[in-house]
């Protein structure tokens, strides 16, 4: 099939050019491409079959160098159960890191305990202070999952 058909119908008639576009080849190509995509997409979007674990908390190992930051529902911050201001967190983290480097002890981990009803913004400020001070390891302390409630 040609995309343009030039038809002549007689000796004395002027040759007329048929200028309509033949869309059949275009439709054929599009259908073939659709079939190719339908066949190859499941192969490309293949995920590794895994059995994901249930959410079970592992008890934290309390070490003397660990720092526990608590944030209550009123957004008050506590450094190892001692009240502290947000503005003082970065300096205290930096001092703790320097003490551990000079004494040769492992770098402290920061464990954040946040009240269930506290805004994420309050916890985000604590995490930001950890990042700015260069704390290498930050974690959250949660209650064990209880499905009966």
CATH number of the domain within which 101 lies: 3.30.420.270
Counting the structural domains of the chain, the total is 2
Asked if residue 60 belongs to a domain, the reply is no
Please tell me whether residues 79 and 32 are part of one structural domain: no
Number of CB atoms found within 10 A of residue 123's CB: 19
pLDDT digits (tens, 9 = 90+) for 58-113: 666 667 678 889 998 888 999 988 899 999 999 999 999 998 888 888 888 898 88
Q: Which domain holds residue 100?
A: 67-140
Asked if residue 53 belongs to a domain, the reply is no
pLDDT digits (tens, 9 = 90+) for 22-69: 889 999 999 999 999 888 887 766 655 656 555 566 666 667 678 889
Which residues on adjacent β-strands are paired with residue 82?
79
Q: State the pTM of this model.
A: 0.57
Please tell me whether residues 71 and 136 are part of one structural domain: yes
Dihedral of CA 88/89/95/99: which sign? positive
> Residue 64: which of 126, 108, 96 has the closest Cα?
108
Asked if residue 136 belongs to a domain, the reply is yes
Please tell me whether residues 40 and 84 are part of one structural domain: no
């Amino acid at each position: 099939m040609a995309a343009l058909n030039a038809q002549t119908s007689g000796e004395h008639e002027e040759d007329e050019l048929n200028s309509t576009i033949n869309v059949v080849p275009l439709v054929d190509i599009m259908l073939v491409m659709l079939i190719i995509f339908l066949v190859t997409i499941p192969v490309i979007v293949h995920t590794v079959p895994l059995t994901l674990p249930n959410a079970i908390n592992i008890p934290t190992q309390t070490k003397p160098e660990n720092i526990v930051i608590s944030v209550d529902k009123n957004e008050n911050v506590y450094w190892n159960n001692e009240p502290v201001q947000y503005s003082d967190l970065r300096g205290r983290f930096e001092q703790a890191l320097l003490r551990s480097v000079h004494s040769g002890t492992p770098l402290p981990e920061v464990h954040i305990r946040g009240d269930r009803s506290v805004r994420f913004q309050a916890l985000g400020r604590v995490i930001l202070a950890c990042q700015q001070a260069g704390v290498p390891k930050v974690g959250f302390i949660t209650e064990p999952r209880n499905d009966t409630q």
